[in-house]
Structure 1
Amino acid sequence: MSRHLSRRARRSVLAAWAAGLAAALAAAPVPIAAAAAGASTSAAAAAGPATVPAWTHDPARTDGPAHWASLTPDWAACGGEGDQSPVALGNGRRAALPELRADYPRVPLVVENTGHVVEVPQPDGAQGTLRFGGTTYRLVQWHVHVPSEHVLNGHRYAMEIHLVHRDSNGATAVLAVLADVARPGGYPLGGTAGLLRRTARAAPAAAGTETDTGTTASAADLLPTGTGRPTDGAVVTRYLTYGGSLTTPPCTTGVRWIVLPTPVLVGAGTVERLHAVVAGFPGYDGYPDNNRPLQPLGSREVLRRG
């Protein structure tokens, strides 16, 4: 999408694209009952569809991010200061932190439109795990935001991928991967760009529906190239970490954020298609972005490994 378009023109183009996308994909999606229970960072994880107020990412609307905390008492955490995510990140303070070991087997690639994110749930019983020191977290889903939610050293990326994990006690850890657009013809057909392209193409236009691609994928393909040893799965030695919250209602706190400072590359068409899907979310009325505005870091400290 050209940066020379005005915001109004950009919305109009993306709204038209979203309408075309809805028509093209009308036969593909399969209805789903709700977002994956206990897995989604959307409000559907906290309450049933009938009790969840309408909300959007559009800061100009009365149901936008600045108003989430007032839409229902259950979302009061969204109004917190100094405990919310995302935040602006710098280099962080170097600390003695453990390596991350991610083991993500191939699972069926099913793509959901939750009405707020494009999400890839992991099947019940899937064995994808992230080990952080003595704690093992299970991968429950991953989803994408366009543009990025976190800002690193003053740069907002074209996309941010959130791999959402839970441990046996229900604690949440989110591994965040930042992505920028590659030069035309400069990204590989497989790997990260390939998986994200497949996901974007399969993303249903209608909220509350899913597409089963009939293929399999590993979330390990979302990690930057060069991480990993064959016997250990993906081994991540460089990351930033801090304590924060979910970035969508109910904005639950106590989330361990792990942000990889090495970005991955994605095709421009993938990013544009995801913006078009977002523009078609219920109530977004052509607004093409689904990133929450930056929150104050407050007294929290960002730590760095590597």
Structure 2
Amino acid sequence: MNHYIGKAALLALSMISASAYASHWSYEGEGAPEHWSELDDAYKTCLSGMNQSPINIDSTAKAHLTPLQTHYSDGPITLTNNGHTIQAGEKADTRDSITLDNQTWTLQQFHFHAPSENTVHGKKFAMEMHLVHKNASGELVVVAVMFDKGAANSELEKLWGVMPGKVDQNVTITPNLDLNKLLPETKTFWRFSGSLTTPPCSEGVTWIVLKEPMSVSAKQLEKFTHTMHHDNNRPVQSLHGRLVVE
């Protein structure tokens, strides 16, 4: 599948961080997703874009996809409450990366949404983790991991134990987090072309949604939603003829 190369992709990563601190967009009220395009000219793509994320994964096409290889050895160093999500940041020279399409994509950050943003056959999962990767050309791949409500997730607890409760608060992650344990062993996936799920909703992002969900306990889920004070998921967007392949 071709990647989209352009200014939107090159700027997307910085936009993720910058947009997270914008005070006038949110998930409710006047700044809710249905109003994002009205808040700033830079957000027009949130309404006009034809390849927006998230989506409902329903009808899929078979394709000869290259396997996803993960190489996570470092783990994140900071955890931030930016008012929109809890985000874990990597060090600048991290070795954490994935191999996809015979390219190396370096992990930039990962964060969480509850309930899930992408859905499968209309089903919302309890929570979704997005791992944002960038290649040498500045293109982005987001690997999405779903979480079903069930047993407590011991690796997730290492993050939750230091979760910053106040907006704009950063903490150093001291536990030795094994990021591999936040992903399923079986890494079969659905793939589609999409966008950032927050303003400016830049397109040209490759999405890899892992099929096998992980688990999160009711207590862990409640702590996240209580810290966020509200759901932090964008509604699913129209496919506009896009194919989801597996």
Structure 1 length normalisation: TM-score?
0.73
Q: Which residue of 1 aligns with 2:209?
A: 259
Q: Which residue of 2 aligns with 1:278?
A: 228
Q: What is the SS of the residue equivalent to 2:176?
A: strand
Cα deviation for residue 55 of structure 1 reads 1.1
CA 1:108/1:96 → structure 2, altered by over 3 Å: closer, same or farther? closer
Is the contact between residue 75 and residue 96 of structure 2 (CA under 8 Å) also seen in structure 1?
no
Q: Which residue of 1 aligns with 2:8?
A: none
Is the contact between residue 160 and residue 176 of structure 1 (CA under 8 Å) also seen in structure 2?
yes
Q: Match of 1:55, as an amino acid?
A: W
Q: How does 1:211-290 map to 2 (within 5 A)?
A: 211-224=171-184, 226-227=185-186, 236=187, 238-279=188-229, 288-290=230-232
2:46 maps to 1:78: yes
- In 2: Cα distance, 1:136 partner to 1:213 partner: 25
CA 1:57/1:45 → structure 2, altered by over 3 Å: closer, same or farther? closer
Q: Which residue of 1 aligns with 2:25?
A: 55
- In 1: Cα distance, 2:209 partner to 2:133 partner: 14
Is the contact between residue 52 and residue 195 of structure 2 (CA under 8 Å) also seen in structure 1?
yes
Q: How does 1:1-306 map to 2 (within 5 A)?
A: 39=13, 42=16, 44=18, 52-58=22-28, 61-90=29-58, 92-182=60-150, 186-187=151-152, 193-224=153-184, 226-227=185-186, 236=187, 238-279=188-229, 288-304=230-246
Q: Deviations over 1:258-285 (max 9, x none)?
A: 0011111111111000001110xxxxxx
Count of aligned pairs: 236
Identity of aligned residues (%): 31
Structure 2 length normalisation: TM-score?
0.90
Q: Match of 1:57, as an amino acid?
A: Y
Q: Match of 2:162, as an amino acid?
A: A
Q: Deviations over 1:184-231 (max 9, x none)?
A: xx45xxxxx11222222322111111111322213212111x34xxxx
- In 2: Cα distance, 1:39 partner to 1:199 partner: 23
Q: What is the SS of the residue equivalent to 1:179?
A: strand
Structure 2 portions without partners, runs of 5+:
1-10
Structure 1 portions without partners, runs of 5+:
1-36, 188-192, 228-235, 280-287
Q: Match of 1:115, as an amino acid?
A: G
Q: What is the SS of the residue equivalent to 2:112?
A: strand
Is the contact between residue 89 and residue 109 of structure 2 (CA under 8 Å) also seen in structure 1?
yes
* Residue range with higher mean Cα deviation, 109-118 or 148-157: 109-118
Higher Cα Rg: structure 1 or 2? 1
Task: List structure 1 runs of 4+ shifted beyond 2 angstroms.
Answer: 37-43, 106-110
* Residue range with higher mean Cα deviation, 204-213 or 113-122: 204-213
- Please give the root-mean-square deviation of Cα atoms over the aligned residues, in Å: 1.9
Q: Match of 2:94, as an amino acid?
A: A
Q: What is the SS of the residue equivalent to 1:157?
A: coil
